[in-house]
Amino acid sequence: MSHPMAGKPVPKSELADIPLLVSAYYELKPDPSKGRERVAFGTSGHRGRALEKSFNENHVIAIAQALCDFRKERGIDGPLYMGIDTHALSTPAQMSAIRVLIANGIDLYIAKKGRYTPTPLVSFAILEYNKKGGKSADGIVITPSHNPPEDGGFKYNPPNGGPAQSDITSDIQERANTIIENGMKDVKIVDYDDALQSPRIREFDFVTPYVKALSDIVDMEAIKRSNLKLAADPLGGSAIGVYKKINETYGLDMDIINPYVDPTFSFMTLDHDGKIRMDCSSPWAMASLVKLKKSYDLAFGNDADADRHGIVTPVEGLMDPNHYLCAAIWYLFKYRKWRSDLKIGKTLVSSSMIDRIAKSLGREVYEVPVGFKWFSDGLFEGWLGFAGEESAGASFLRFDTNVWTTDKDGIIMSLLAAEMRAVTGKDPAEIYAGLEKEFGKAYYRRIDAPATSKLKEKLKRLDRSKIASSELGGERIEKIFNTASGNGASIGGVKIVTANGWVAMRPSGTEDIYKIYAESFLSEDHLNRLLDAAQQIVSSL
């Protein structure tokens, strides 16, 4: 059940106290003996809050030093590209990290004039540099993604340009916590002013090369010729300057909504739980843009670091993320002249409609656990044509099937929607409606529920032996698995499949909740029965 204020403007009383938040970042010190105050990398970096002593200067300094140690051990000797989003703690965290990175002799590229840099632009810059051969570049993005204004986050992208794999983040996490436990004695650090004077730090234009190359991956000319009336809402995030440059470069008829930075994000509408969250896949958070749907042929939004997308059409409003993934996959593999061996990447909690579409296209599906990191190698090596996850994150290859980004790119996914409308005459929602007629209607839902650490651990280890029933939602269970079919990696939970539906249960890696995903190709009632059965399984643990 949604909060009574969901979808409504943020009351001034609910806005973050930015001076208090930044002061807490510098003044509060984490206690490494307390689990909540330790460095902990989830599916995409370390996230936390300064006021709760889970994202403070000591965390950032320790992570930065641990990363420097990791680079030295792995022989990563090229420049490091650093991007930040518009959360209040991102700039202080960047300043802290710069002091450590420069002290450790790393060549560092940051945006000109302190500008903000989306996640996909950092991935793009890493890959463009590494094309040359020789030294290897990598990167950092300081962002908590779509999370509330009080949050901070730190994410590492190795030389393949994508989110770091678990073996890498585990090493960095362990080393960072050891540094904090030892009283920060192992940290090399210089004054911020001295760091800025170092020849190792250089300003870099992340935006222009990325925007100029967009015509290699999206038919920008078709969008321009179509004269579509477009709207882009960066939700006050790091994509503001990118969309301005896109308009300047390609001459699109595209309005930019909320084209300013406000660390309180006061222009937002509240999310389903009454919190401020820059979630472009949430109809409550996107309520302001959805209200404008009739004013545009197509509108789209991105979260604060622009790695996610939300597509708004005149009739449908905000598309379900799974629906847009399906429409995008169908379009790309129909209209791109791609090799026949390119695969479609999906997370195991994404809609099975993707599997039906892939089968009709004669394409193989590569199914992986939750987390975009599982797709990076496939995109980098060029055997995944498209990779997407149910939480509105995706990327794909260029027209010539060369790699674009190996991290999620909400900007190209937004522009692709405009290309689809320009080329086919149908918006993505209309395309998905046609897919439903061909493959059946899918009923999909995800629910979150509170979970203790004990329950989360039990759920993480749940397997076939703990499930006594032979049926689920009135149908015989056909398969129960704990590893993904694509790469054999643990899913950190369990997925149960029947003839006309499935459920998946897994604990959150960053919050005290567990998640149940379910999908039915029969009815809303069948979906509810699947969800009820899944909740009963969890309750029995």
- Active-site positions? 145
Give the C-alpha separation, 121 to 534, whole Å. Answer: 39
Give the C-alpha separation, 228 to 494, whole Å. Answer: 44
Structure tokens at 227: 């004269």
Residues 6+ apart with CB under 8 A from 30: 37, 38, 53, 54, 56, 58, 59, 180
Contact 365, 325 (CB under 8 A): no
Residues 6+ apart with CB under 8 A from 185: none
Sort strands 384-389 and 343-347 into parallel, antiparallel or unpaired: parallel
Helix, coil or strand: residue 105 = coil
Residue 135 to residues 15, 122, 255, 419, Cα–Cα distance (Å) = 45, 17, 41, 36
Residues 6+ apart with CB under 8 A from 528: none
Of 368, 462, 312, the closest CA to residue 163 belongs to 368
Give the C-alpha separation, 123 to 214, whole Å. Answer: 14
Give the C-alpha separation, 490 to 410, whole Å. Answer: 27
Could you tell me the end-to-end alpha-carbon distance of the chain, in angstroms, rounded to an integer? Answer: 25
Angle between the N-to-C axes of helices 321-335 and 428-439, in degrees from 0 to 180, rounded to the nearest 10: 90
Helix, coil or strand: residue 156 = strand
Q: Which residue is associated with the tokens 């300003």?
A: 203
DSSP conformation class of 378: H
Contact 427, 314 (CB under 8 A): yes
List phi, psi (to 5°) of 338: -95, 155
Residues 6+ apart with CB under 8 A from 454: none
Structure tokens at 416: 């692709």
Q: What is the DSSP string of 260-304?
A: S--TT-TTPBP-TTS-----TT-TTTTHHHHHTGGG-SEEEEE-T
Q: Which residue is associated with the tokens 């969008």?
A: 223
Contact 422, 226 (CB under 8 A): yes
Give Rg (Cα) of the chain: 22
Angle between the N-to-C axes of helices 240-250 and 410-424, in degrees from 0 to 180, rounded to the nearest 10: 40
Give the C-alpha separation, 263 to 266, whole Å. Answer: 8
Contact 273, 3 (CB under 8 A): yes
Of 191, 294, 295, 288, the closest CA to residue 253 belongs to 295
